[in-house]
Structure 1
Amino acid sequence: MKGRDILKSMVSAGQAAGEAPAVSVSQKPAGAVRAMNLSLNRLNDEAAAAKVLRDALASGDKVVELDPDLIENSFIQDRIPVELDPELEKLKTAIEESGQQVPILVRPHPTKVNCYQSVFGHRRRRVAKLLGRRVKAIVREMTDEEVILAQGQENGPRVDLSFIERALFARRMHEHGFDRDTIAKALSVDKPEISRLLQVADAVKPELILAVGPAFKVGRPRWLAFADGLKDTDAAKRVDKELTSAEFAKADSNARFERLWKALAGRSEKKTNAVQVLRGQKGLPLASIERGTRGTKITVTSEPFAAFLSDKLADLVAAFEREKI
């Protein structure tokens, strides 16, 4: 349940109990708003923890403590790893201060004895490993399909995947053999959206997607346009060149996409056109001839010379035909 839904249910419950309806108040200062947001976030985390525990108890699961080194990543990754993950640092601080509130979900490893495979909760597992602690987990027998559906359900009410993460996740599921109905359920979208996700994931190389990162500020329209732009060979070469630049490596995920977007839309530097200036005996310019890739342009800057050319054009054409044709 999201924070705003929790707050709404609390208000509804209060009114049902006979409390006076809320009255309008003046706008709160920024500090108060931030404090309320933090409170709602805590409510959200507590609600998520309670839901996981309720579901575990209802299904007969137990929360156990495992060595994080015995847990491998899911067979299909839904998130794109980033070098600097601010959410990981926030979670690390929270677990250091209050302990792990929400257990992760794992399944027995399909091929390895006494090992496990993560379904969701990879950040909590990483934090436990960083802190040298065991990680609280629910161990459940699950099929491959149940794993990807659980991953999608866990991402829905919490932090949504970015568009490109969803596209890459859809591609990985498709390559693993899942049909579009299953992929649609895992991502909670309809089939047309799955087609768009796969369209982008097929056109943009996985290596490029991983290099950019999740790019949370970049939505479907720009990724679709970017994928379409890569069909141009020259544009794709410019993008590949930008991928190796030092500036690209230093940028964050959203800025990396912006650099590739500009490289995709950019044009090759125009060659300087050769310009020949025609001058009279006194050195005064009469005309200029500019030769470029799209043709040659003659600009007459002397009015008397322009009149002279106009009178002689027929003779010049005849002379040209005699000599060149």
Structure 2
Amino acid sequence: MSKTRKSIIANFGILSAAVDSDPQPAEPQPAAVQPPSPTLPRVGAGVIGAAQRSIGELRDERDRLKALVESGAGASLELDASLIDPSPYPDRLADDNAQDFAAFKATFEAEGQKIPIQVRPHPDRPGRYQVIYGHRRLKAAKELGLPVRALVVEMSDRDLVVSQGIENAARQDLTWIERALFAARMDDAQIKPRDIKSALAIDDAELARMRGVYRAVPLDVIELIGRAPKVGRPRWGDFAKLFSASGNGSALVEKRLRADGMSAIGSDDRFRLALTALKTRDPETDDGAADVLSLRDADGRDIARVKVSAKELRIVHVGPKGAAFSAFLQAEMPRLVERFARKDDADT
């Protein structure tokens, strides 16, 4: 079996293994794949949507892709890396340090690209592409000024996120919080919950746990902490509860992690320090006992947290809807002041 054909079949990950486990008559070994032509047609959406398909349908889809590869129509293309944009649904946080990627790039330069990345035509910018998976390979190629081998597939937004999830589930190298953030970005893009669960191979309970974290902890706080590969769901759940209860969690975490020297430590240690900051009262940011009220939209999603104490009224918006609510509230402030003034005059 040629390397190119292997790269196509490898895209099936764990799903391809399920198909192969169904007994079938032995197939003759195909002829070697010919080098790709510069005008190869694009491959279709492939195995995406697998959670809703039967094993028989998956087998038919696999056989169709194998036929494309054997005919030379499914081989990878060499593309200018500068023409490829990131996925609209990023699934990775930054590496803890530059050394990890530097080692990867050195290997990439010395040994070449062994596995094609997968891209789709950019839906809004003709002549450009969006990467589906292979982000590190693409980044290395861009920094080295090299072209990148890629398999081009036609794919909808829904199929793209499910494809990323299937590929990442097979590799199992995303941390728990990266998987949760991937779910959050799909949620924000109004991807249906069943497709989020299919993409990440999770159930209703796990999706609820992820939502409990990413709806409580702002994205900028999670990005400040980082990948935290040794931190799993239970500790992130505890972190989210403490963050919600603190009323000023962002200030506490940012003050601790933006101190001198903090950028040089690993993300697991940053998580530990952030958790400690939430557990420790800070006289400069904690003004004593306060009532914390969560404001939610009609769907039950948090859009803001209101902290009321003897010293202040603080409103912290949460998520994309929260930002819109904050803008709405600012626009309404003059009218609220007028209403308050009329009420004050009436009371006196």
Tell me the TM-score range normalised by the shorter chain: 0.5 to 0.7
**Equivalent residues of 1:152, 1:187 under 8 A apart:** yes
Return the index of the structure with the highest Cα Rg: 1
**Equivalent residues of 2:221, 2:253 under 8 A apart:** no
Distance 2:254 2:200 in 1: 30
Match of residue 69, structure 2, among 43, 50, 57 = 57
Corresponding residue for residue 326 of structure 2? none
| Percent identity of equivalent pairs | 38
| Uncovered stretches (5+) of structure 1, i.e. residues with no partner | 6-52, 270-325
- The change in CA–CA distance for 1:58 and 1:209 in structure 2 (over 3 A counts) is farther
- The change in CA–CA distance for 1:231 and 1:152 in structure 2 (over 3 A counts) is same
Deviation at 1:71, TM superposition (A): 0.2
Match of residue 270, structure 2, among 256, 263, 275 = 256
Q: Does 1:239 align with 2:253?
A: yes
The residue identity in structure 1 corresponding to 2:109 is E
For 1:134-283, list aligned pairs within 5 A.
134-233=147-246, 236=249, 237-268=251-282
Distance 1:62 1:80 in 2: 31
Distance 1:93 1:244 in 2: 31
The residue identity in structure 2 corresponding to 1:180 is P
**Equivalent residues of 2:95, 2:101 under 8 A apart:** no
The residue identity in structure 2 corresponding to 1:130 is E
Corresponding residue for residue 145 of structure 2? 132
What TM-score comes out, normalization by structure 1 length? Answer: 0.63
CA RMSD of aligned residues (A): 2.5
* Higher-RCO chain (CA-CA 8 Å, sequence separation at least 6): 2
How many pairs are equivalent?
A: 221
Corresponding residue for residue 133 of structure 2? 120
| Uncovered stretches (5+) of structure 2, i.e. residues with no partner | 1-12, 18-64, 284-348
Deviation at 1:166, TM superposition (A): 1.0
**Equivalent residues of 2:120, 2:129 under 8 A apart:** yes
**Equivalent residues of 1:65, 1:136 under 8 A apart:** yes
Q: Does 1:101 align with 2:129?
A: no
Deviation at 1:116, TM superposition (A): 0.3
- The change in CA–CA distance for 1:207 and 1:268 in structure 2 (over 3 A counts) is closer
Deviation at 1:254, TM superposition (A): 1.0
